[in-house]
Every structure is written in C-alpha cells, then in structure tokens.
Structure 1
Amino acid sequence: MHAFYINLDHRTDRRAEVEKEFEEKGLTVERFPATQYSPGAIGCNLSHIGVLNLAKERGYESVMIFEDDFQFLISKSEWDDLIAKLPASYDVVMLSYNLVASTPHDDTFHRVQEVQTTSGYIVHSRFYDKLIARWEEGARLFMQNPTMDWVYILDQYWKPLQPEAEWFAYKVRIGKQRPSFSDIAGRFAERDT
C-alpha cells in the first residue's frame, strides 16, 4: 500500500522526526508538500484533498496518509501484525484517533460511529470520490466562513460519512500526534490523539 505524509516545506524539524518514525517501522512513505494557507486549517484541508486526488490519479487501491506530527505508539512487530489484519472490506481505517462513538467489530477493530483526528488513516479507492467531495465542500465553506473552523475542519466535516461507511479504528491505538509547535494553531500543541 502506498503511503504519504503531509509536511510544510519550512517544517524540516517535523520532517526529520516523522521520517525517523517511518524508518524505525521499515516504511517507505512519500512526502507530500503541504499547502500553505491562512488560516492554516484551510491549508490542512487542501493538503489532505491533494493527497487523495494524487492517490486517485495514480490509481492506488488504498492509500495510507500521515500528518508530519504522527508518532507511533507500538513496536515494529506489533505494526507488522496489525497492518496485516486490515478488514477484508473497508472504506477508512483509523491509525490514530479520538474515538467519540463506536461499536465492537471484532478482536482487532472498533466500527466507527464518530471519530476525529486526521494524523494517521487509510482510505480505500472506492471511497476517494466521496471523501474528496465532502472535504472540497467543507474547504469551500471554510473559506467563506474562516472563523467557523470547528464546523469545517477535516476531522469534523467528515463525521456525517462515518455511520454509513465501513469505517474502522484499531482497538490498539497505533499512533498519536507528537507534541510540537502547530502551524495551524500558531502555538505549541500537546494532544493525546
């Protein structure tokens, strides 16, 4: 499966940190230059849309997407074991998350009803168009209403798609957002998702 990480050109610190994470797991992950925009959250929206469009253009069956503050919480052997257990059929699989509501699926996965955070996730190609359309709509509305980030930011605006989709989250949290300075927030951010 092809993987991308999103990284602003000037954030060489985050680039070095996340590339070290990938190297330790034996992953080859392509850098996607993040879109610089003000406010930064709109740039984040546009960057994730750009990655999905590129995955679609290249014909990837699925794509793994990371933000540059992704930090693994598991060992390489655990990673290898868990990634081999992807559901037979899925639209989205969360690698890191703030799980708001879910139902049990099996020993490995929750079935998502509501989740947020886009620091690490997998999307199947059959869901590219649906997610791109939703996020493009959100980005357009966000640009028209830039103070309403809590409504139009990626990890909020995708929520209506979740209950109907084959959307899963690993029961073992694979990663989280590394504490660091956030260009989106304009301050140091310490999150546990």
Structure 2
Amino acid sequence: MSFVITEPDAMATAADELQGIGSSLQATNAAVAGPTTGVLPPATDSVSVRVATMLDAHAQQYQALSAQAELFHNQFVETLITAKNAYAQTEATNAAAMQSSTGTDKIALIMGGTGNPSPDLKYMTSIQQAYLAQNYSDYTLVSLRTPEQFWPITGLGSETFGKSVYQGMATLNSAILTQTAAGRACR
C-alpha cells in the first residue's frame, strides 16, 4: 500500500526557491548571449573563420537549449504551485468536513488483515487503545470485512494477493464515501 504525504508549506518554499533559481539562470543566460554569439574571427585565415563559426554555432545551440530548459523549468514551477494549491484546498475541505461533524457522527473504520478478514471486538479494542484513544476517544469503532478469506494461511482464498489488496482498498474507499456522504467523520 502506498501513502501520499504532502506539506503545502514545503511545496510553496520549494516553488519560491525554484523560481529564484530560474531567475538566476535566465539572467546568466541573457548576460552571456551577446559575448558568446556572433564571434568574430581573430584573423582572416580560413582556420580562424572556421573556429569562430564553430564557436558561434555552439553558442547558438546553447542559447536554444537554455530557452528549452527555461520553458521546462517554468512549467515545472507552475505544476508544483498548482499541486500545492490543490493539496491545500483538499486539506481545507477535509478539515471543514471534519469540523462540521458532531461527536456521535464520528467513526473509526477498522479493517483486518490476512488471517483476520472480519475484525472482532477484541481486535478493534486493541486498535482503539493503541492508536485512537489519545486523540479520537469519542469515535465509534466500525468493523469492515475484507475479502482475503484467510489466504495465504489456509490456501482457501479465491483471490490473489494483488486482487485481495485491491478489493480491500475498494471496500475501504466505499465505506469512507458512504460515511462521509452521511455527514460522519472517518478515521
């Protein structure tokens, strides 16, 4: 199972720093554009002309590549800012939903794992005492049945590990959506 953890403040700081780096690179590239392009040969012989032409071609390629890098950099910064704003908005929406819930509408969805597809009261109480009691003592515990059928312990399961995990995540997602649609806060 993968988790996504974001820090909108850290993302904003990174975006600001990246914008500063982009500005510095842009200024540097602009400063070297004149002296490196349009190089004049130091003499009129064919070797000097060819070397100057080659240096000018390299300088023009550098400027073209720098322009592409600048475009990519600006797009990356914009994407980072957009992602930061999206995460911040999502967190604000979730916080508002959690604050609007009342004490009796708070539930903790407890899922079992392999060998425990239907968590019993003892298991749920141990989860509550170990993880929820300090901050979420007023939450009602709700058991969610998962599909693994004691697989791989018994070998009786009809689902592979991947399918079992996918079905478990779908079960959890459905339960969260159902509970939040009913105005309940979920943990």
**TM-score in terms of structure 2 length:** 0.24
Greater share of residues in strand: 1
Higher relative contact order (CA 8 A, sep 6+): 1
**TM-score in terms of structure 1 length:** 0.24
Please identify the structure whose Cα radius of gyration is greater.
2
